[in-house]
């Protein structure tokens, strides 16, 4: 194993069809009887823990650890329901790329995501991708995305019994937060414009490479070299 890919989920591997946002709205309504469209919330690239805290502070005025936990539990339940929507899909080229990496003896892959581990399993399990990622870093590990990288690296090293060098680690995501969190561990960064950010906006954050999408799987693998 020489190369390690660490994937973001939403806007990078999949589009949940709005299931994440609706799951948050439903959890707020069911647990706290609060209706909020969350249109004020800039949550792209943030961790679920960060998001839960921001919403409860905004809507309740405070966010105790107990309320955050209650909210997140209700969110996971609603998320599992909401993934059953016709817009939920795997993004172009992704299914082919992650399957091909499974055949490569020198490329490994895991997750580096702001989702809770259980949320990642719900989203990727629903779309048939969960089995490709034996380890990862999740919102359970840290509130701030920049702190997730070392957890993902440690688990990858332990799983494969090797030490991946930062120059051969690629953090792949759709927001400036993904690029920053890759740079925080000295990794290379692939940015993809299949989320909320255009390739121009992503390029301004100087990732190693920018893709419109991953439909051209040959271009993806070429960029690893």
The count of residues interacting with Mg ion (CB under 5 A) is 4
Q: Is 141 in the site for Mg ion (CB under 5 A)?
A: no
> Hey, which bits of the chain come out as E strands?
3-7, 14-15, 89-90, 107-112, 136-137, 169-173, 188-192, 209-211
Q: Is 48 in the site for Mg ion (CB under 5 A)?
A: no
Question: Nearest residue to Mg ion, using CB?
Answer: 11
Contact range with Mg ion by CB under 5 A, out of 11-19, 81-89, 96-104, 181-189: 11-19
Contact pick of 6, 11, 79, 132 for Mg ion (by CB under 5 A): 11
Q: Give least dist CB 179 to Mg ion, A.
A: 11
- Which CB atom, from 141 or from 174, has the smaller least distance to Mg ion? 174
- Which CB atom, from 55 or from 193, has the smaller least distance to Mg ion? 193
Calpha distance 195→120 (Å, rounded): 17
Alpha helices by DSSP H, listed for the chain, are 19-32, 48-60, 65-82, 94-103, 117-126, 149-160, 176-183, 199-203, 217-223
> Can you read off the two tokens belonging to residue 150?
């070392």
Window 179-198: contact mask with Mg ion (x via CB under 5 A):
--------------------
Decide: 102 and 132 in contact? Cβ < 8 Å: yes
- Which CB atom, from 31 or from 188, has the smaller least distance to Mg ion? 188
Contact range with Mg ion by CB under 5 A, out of 9-17, 151-159, 162-170, 180-188: 9-17
Radius of gyration of the chain (CA): 17
Q: Give least dist CB 195 to Mg ion, A.
A: 5
Q: Give least dist CB 61 to Mg ion, A.
A: 29
Contacts of 132 (CB under 8 A, 6+ apart): 98, 99, 101, 102, 109
Calpha distance 204→207 (Å, rounded): 8
Q: Give least dist CB 113 to Mg ion, A.
A: 8
Matching residue, tokens 């040959």: 218
Residue (of 59, 58, 72, 63) closest to 23 by Cα position:
72
Q: Is 10 in the site for Mg ion (CB under 5 A)?
A: yes
Decide: 220 and 213 in contact? Cβ < 8 Å: no
Q: Give least dist CB 158 to Mg ion, A.
A: 25
Q: Give least dist CB 155 to Mg ion, A.
A: 20
Report the interface residues with Mg ion, using CB under 5 A: 8, 10-11, 174
């Amino acid at each position: 194993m020489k190369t390690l890919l660490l994937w973001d989920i939403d806007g990078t591997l999949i589009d949940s069809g709005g299931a994440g946002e609706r799951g948050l709205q439903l959890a707020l309504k069911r647990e706290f009887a609060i209706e909020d469209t969350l249109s004020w919330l800039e949550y792209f690239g943030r961790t679920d823990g960060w998001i839960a805290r921001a919403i409860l502070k905004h809507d309740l005025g405070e966010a105790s650890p107990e309320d955050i936990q209650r909210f997140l539990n209700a969110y996971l339940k609603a998320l599992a329901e909401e993934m059953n929507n016709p817009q939920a899909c795997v993004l172009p080229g992704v299914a082919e790329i992650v399957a091909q990496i499974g055949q490569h003896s020198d490329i490994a892959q895991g997750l580096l995501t702001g989702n809770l581990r259980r949320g990642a399993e719900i989203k990727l399990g629903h779309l048939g991708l969960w089995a490709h990622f034996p380890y990862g870093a999740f919102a359970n590990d840290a509130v701030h995305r920049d702190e997730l990288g070392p957890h993902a690296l440690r688990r990858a090293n332990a799983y494969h019994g090797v030490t991946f060098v930062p120059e051969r680690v690629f953090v792949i995501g759709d927001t400036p937060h993904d690029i920053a969190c890759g740079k925080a561990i000295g990794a290379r960064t692939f940015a993809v414009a299949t989320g909320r950010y255009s390739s121009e906006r992503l390029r301004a954050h100087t990732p190693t490479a920018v893709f419109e999408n991953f439909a051209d799987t040959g271009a993806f693998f070429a960029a690893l070299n």
